[in-house]
Structure 1
């Protein structure tokens, strides 16, 4: 059962920060860094997973190595902001693999999408055949990423309250 906000001590925070930075660390090494033996460290990790503090584990892939040379942010405005229409848009976006992130915003723009593509033509094809043609889409404004100065996954883990 996931709790809304698990009570975390300094060892939990250290475990979370370490796993976020080094997801493939062994339990033995994690326990050593946390000042624990392996069994209680593993119990803590499992408790953090069960509480929802740890959602999942992933390999962070290099988009360029895999042929995705550009990243684009698309600001999408919808014709209707009725809850059913918002959900329908989100459900459709969830089926589009090139869309890596989708965030609903407050303000003039309804959603911002992070999109990867092989090249500009690939993105243009996606834009005109998959995004602007979605029901309820009023407008799409795009910005091509020139370079990324910072891209950290996860969240900051405060080591003291």
Structure 2
């Protein structure tokens, strides 16, 4: 479920999160299926107060959405890859074309613009080496925005969490 967005000016800042907000966020990061009653019980708050706080955190964009976390290997996507991309030309139009490509590709889990030698780093999942080869040779390299790619295959994942270090002070 995606939460509706608000303007940048209306978003809450880290310094505006109190200890109770942080407790709510920490619990939801552990298990997003917790009900307001479950959370309220754990942090000694009334369910209605918990509900209001949670709704505010959603409205202000601190809680961006709720998602099921899937096991890639068990779901048939056993190969995790990091792909560095250099653009063919460095201008706004080419960067926009590349961003449009990234938005269309479900294999791309993350895409980040970088400083340094490469322009972007992608986290891509594929079913196997053949899928990776097809992705690189039939999707990335032929695209007009792309000049060069370098691929690294993940051998072992030591840690994979999207949780933020909320800290409860």
Displacement of 1:4 in angstroms is 5.1
Cα separation, 2, equivalents of 1:135 and 1:159: 47
Answer yes or no: is the 8 Å Cα contact 2:12–2:62 preserved in 1.
no
Write the deviation string for residues 109-136 of structure 1: whole angstroms up to 9, x where unpaired.
0000011111101110111101111112
SS in 2 for 1:45: helix
SS in 1 for 2:48: helix
Cα separation, 2, equivalents of 1:39 and 1:116: 41
TM-score normalised by length of structure 2: 0.91
* Match of residue 54, structure 2, among 45, 67, 70: 45
Runs of 4+ aligned residues of structure 1 deviating over 3 Å after TM superposition are: none
Write the deviation string for residues 21-58 of structure 1: whole angstroms up to 9, x where unpaired.
11111211100112101111000000001111100000
Question: Which runs of 5 or more structure 2 residues have no equivalent in the other structure?
Answer: 1-5
- In structure 1, the residue matched to 2:17 is 8
Cα separation, 2, equivalents of 1:155 and 1:96: 26
Q: After superposition, where does 1:28-107 map in structure 2 within 5 Å?
A: 28-107=37-116
Q: After superposition, where does 1:134-145 map in structure 2 within 5 Å?
A: 134-145=143-154
Cα separation, 1, equivalents of 2:155 and 2:43: 40
Question: Which runs of 5 or more structure 1 residues have no equivalent in the other structure?
Answer: none
- The aligned length equals 160
Residue 111 (str. 1) matches residue 111 (str. 2): no
- In structure 2, the residue matched to 1:125 is 134
